[in-house]
Amino acid sequence: MDLALFDLDNTLLSGDSDYEWAQFLIDKGAVERSGYEARNQAFYQHYKDGTLDIFEFLEFQLAPLAAHPRAQLDLWHAEFMEQRIRPMMRGKARQLIERHRANGDLCAVLTATNAFVTAPIVREFGVPHLLATDIEVIDGRFTGRPAGVPCFREGKVTRLEAWLAARGQTLKSFGASWFYSDSHNDVPVLERVAHAVAVDPDERLRAIALERGWPIIGLQ
């Protein structure tokens, strides 16, 4: 059995679910457009530049989840899936996932985006396991704070190793391991798997992939 890991945003999706969720909340009037939209765009640019402070970003991005009851958030998310996410779900990405599933591989999505936003997306892709940034919950409500290690950059490695350890496994337990990603932020994981694959990569990851001989594919 092989291990197949997939980044989500701009890899399986033709866009960024984290960014789009914030824009969706703005359009719904759940947060004030003035200031919030500019900060959302700034954080997204920091992510692309490789300068994102993940804890500063999470303080910003998770705050709206603490401001509304879970029932309302779930209703919004269903609308978000229909309006923003399903149009970004790539057919070639579904085919890639299905090839690994048909091979009997253990499949998981490994994403920095929080689990509330990503869990329904990953279920719709048919991937059985999700490693995402978790959110603290007290008395059934989100607190607006992350729980545990954010699943970002080196944190993805930490979360992956902990998940495998809980299963009694390591990367060496598999005949081969794969990770598909578009972002240079994912190099810490790409360096650890047997098969690193750059998917429609950003400029920095493309340069690294060319230097190291990693395959470059497109799922558009």
Instruction: Tell me whether residue 9 is one of the annotated catalytic residues.
Output: yes
Contact between residue 134 and residue 155 where contact means Cβ atoms under 8 Å apart: no
Which position among 2, 7, 74, 139 bears the catalytic label?
A: 7
User: Pick the catalytic residue: 2, 9, 105, 202?
Assistant: 9
- φ, ψ of residue 120 to 5 degrees: the values are -65, -30
For residue 7, indicate whether it is catalytic: yes
Task: Tell me which residues are annotated as active site.
Answer: 7, 9
